Structure 1
């Protein structure tokens, strides 16, 4: 058994597929209400992980996700990372769930260059084995990421563990296709970790009066976004500039121009955030 224990006496009355749909809906509503009340009570305490402090809605989602696979509320908050508001299971969580159902998972080898994890479904005689190497991670472009540089052995084991658990217990973890480690590798940020240069809607608060300025002839700034221009900027101009911005400094100039002209557009906000993450990832 791992350090994330799977409980059989769930605290929430999660509906089963054998019950009528209307009864399931009522039970889900009751479970969600109970999870929300519990989250409200604990999310401002040091008893919960930092990722969920002051975020009862996200905590309630993690509690419900954990209850589906037999985890108690507090174990759920430890077992799921909060990634952009969505609970994502850690690799160790998948292993705990899998082993809790009687399946076997073992780590055969773990070094900074190789991880070998094997699993066997309860009742089967054959073992399924996943081997992850640094060479495999390099081919996927993973080793340039900070978590792989800092703890390659742990990341290799996490990848191999998740793969084996999906092979032998897909029915148990169908609603959790990717682990937190895998999602991080795609560039998503875990809420508990510092995320500099992540833009929010407040960064694009509209100004009461646009401030006119002189046009620019800078060939690297064809739309004059380094300073506000004497004509309104269009969304198309801004999106073009964001898509081709080579540095974070350039993105910051674009943001300043939007603030000066009172532009607040969800599409621009999303494009800015995406490009900022791409630049940070490439750094």
Structure 2
């Protein structure tokens, strides 16, 4: 009698339970990288991970070491100044998951956290944070026995609006670090302790990105510190030079314009104005306008010179000569040229912002110059566009 032995059937890998969270343990290395590349392209990610698949992969691996799923890792592990940070609530959850007993007493002006280790019930750690501690740490001030904390824009920070939540976060983080640091796996600080701007829940509002150097102070959208105060409007060196005939003042204005990186056309006009400063009334301005027109200067510079010449004290209306425009015609033509140049400059600025993927152009411009784009002249718009283009070129 012949007995035939059938080969054992291959056992297929057990599928992940329905509704279970994704994990690297369920993926091959190639699948994990593809998943991270896809995930990095979604706008729902925190800024530190967006378009950074390598950072997403690192975070997922870090979360796997902590036993966290992908979504929990991405939303609760924050990278501040290159270091992983956990929210206070995540620290609290991990301490309790490890079996440690945690008791929290939270009040408006103080918070007390007690942790008893599961492997040594007699070892109790007690940490208390009060508003006096926050004042000592430089996080807020006390005014009329109430916390006072403002950012550089004068807006209230969470320490002023949510002192109870902020005291609780500080007390939990310090207590977990002291009582059971093994549950933190190296991420021993909260985002606020690393200098990030956080909300009342301790999550960073804006996060530093290593791949996106700031365009300039006020154009920086993603960073780890609050935006600085808006920059002062740029000096009108040409108008200042036209308003004075003092040689020393003209030399100072010319030096300041050169140090500020004024456009070449500005420097040419300033140099010519310095050489002709002894003339009276609007004569030097008319000569500058003629010289600039002869060398093919940009229309917005011509319009600026015409406006300064017409408004300068002592300027006399030009007599109508054969072939010479009347003052009304000059004013009308100057206004048309100025508006056309401004419109062209605004269009070029918006194109540059679109190419640089800067959707907050109007708000950024308002913060820098203190006025909307619609009220800015062509020179200011050109200057802002060049800064955006320079920053976009450096980031590539």
* Fold shared per TM-score above 0.5: yes
Counterpart position of 2:24: 12
Distance (Å, rounded) in 1 between the aligned partners of 2:160 and 2:83: 26
Counterpart position of 1:225: 260
Query: Would the alpha carbon gap of residues 35 and 176 (structure 1) be closer, same or farther in structure 2, given more than 3 Å must change?
Result: farther
Q: Is the 8 A contact 2:66 2:185 kept in 1?
A: no
Q: Is the 8 A contact 1:80 1:89 kept in 2?
A: yes
Q: Is the 8 A contact 2:86 2:188 kept in 1?
A: no
Counterpart position of 1:166: 177
Q: Which has the higher contact order (CA 8 A, sep 6+)?
A: 1
Distance (Å, rounded) in 2 between the aligned partners of 1:222 and 1:98: 60
Q: Is the 8 A contact 1:115 1:157 kept in 2?
A: yes
Counterpart position of 1:88: 85
Instruction: After TM superposition, give the deviation of residue 126 of structure 1 in Å.
Output: 2.8
- Aligned-pair RMSD on alpha carbons? 4.5
Residue 150 of structure 1 pairs with residue 161 of structure 2? yes
Cα deviation per residue 1:227-274 (whole Å; 9 max; x = unaligned)? Answer: 3686xxxxxxxxxxxxxxxxx969xx9xx69x68x988xxxx9xxxxx
Distance (Å, rounded) in 2 between the aligned partners of 1:103 and 1:10: 28
2:112 pairs, out of 97, 110, 116, with 116
Query: Would the alpha carbon gap of residues 79 and 224 (structure 1) be closer, same or farther in structure 2, given more than 3 Å must change?
Result: same
Instruction: After TM superposition, give the deviation of residue 94 of structure 1 in Å.
Output: 1.1
- SS of the equivalent of 2:114 reads strand
TM-score of the pair, normalised by structure 2: 0.42
Distance (Å, rounded) in 1 between the aligned partners of 2:54 and 2:251: 47
Q: Is the 8 A contact 1:120 1:127 kept in 2?
A: yes
- SS of the equivalent of 1:177 reads coil
Matches within 5 A, 1:176-215: 176-184=187-195, 190-191=206-207, 197-198=219-220
1:72 pairs, out of 69, 73, 86, with 69
- SS of the equivalent of 2:36 reads helix
Unpaired stretches in structure 2, ≥5 consecutive residues: 1-20, 141-148, 152-156, 199-203, 209-216, 223-236, 239-249, 268-366, 370-379
Q: Which has the larger radius of gyration?
A: 2
Instruction: After TM superposition, give the deviation of residue 180 of structure 1 in Å.
Output: 1.7
Distance (Å, rounded) in 2 between the aligned partners of 1:115 and 1:153: 8
Unpaired stretches in structure 1, ≥5 consecutive residues: 1-8, 14-29, 201-212, 231-247, 270-283
Cα deviation per residue 1:180-223 (whole Å; 9 max; x = unaligned)? Answer: 2322458986339xx954279xxxxxxxxxxxx999726x9697
Residue 103 of structure 1 pairs with residue 100 of structure 2? yes
Instruction: After TM superposition, give the deviation of residue 81 of structure 1 in Å.
Output: 3.1
1:128 pairs, out of 112, 125, 130, with 125
Counterpart position of 1:17: none
Query: Would the alpha carbon gap of residues 170 and 84 (structure 1) be closer, same or farther in structure 2, given more than 3 Å must change?
Result: closer
Distance (Å, rounded) in 2 between the aligned partners of 1:157 and 1:32: 40
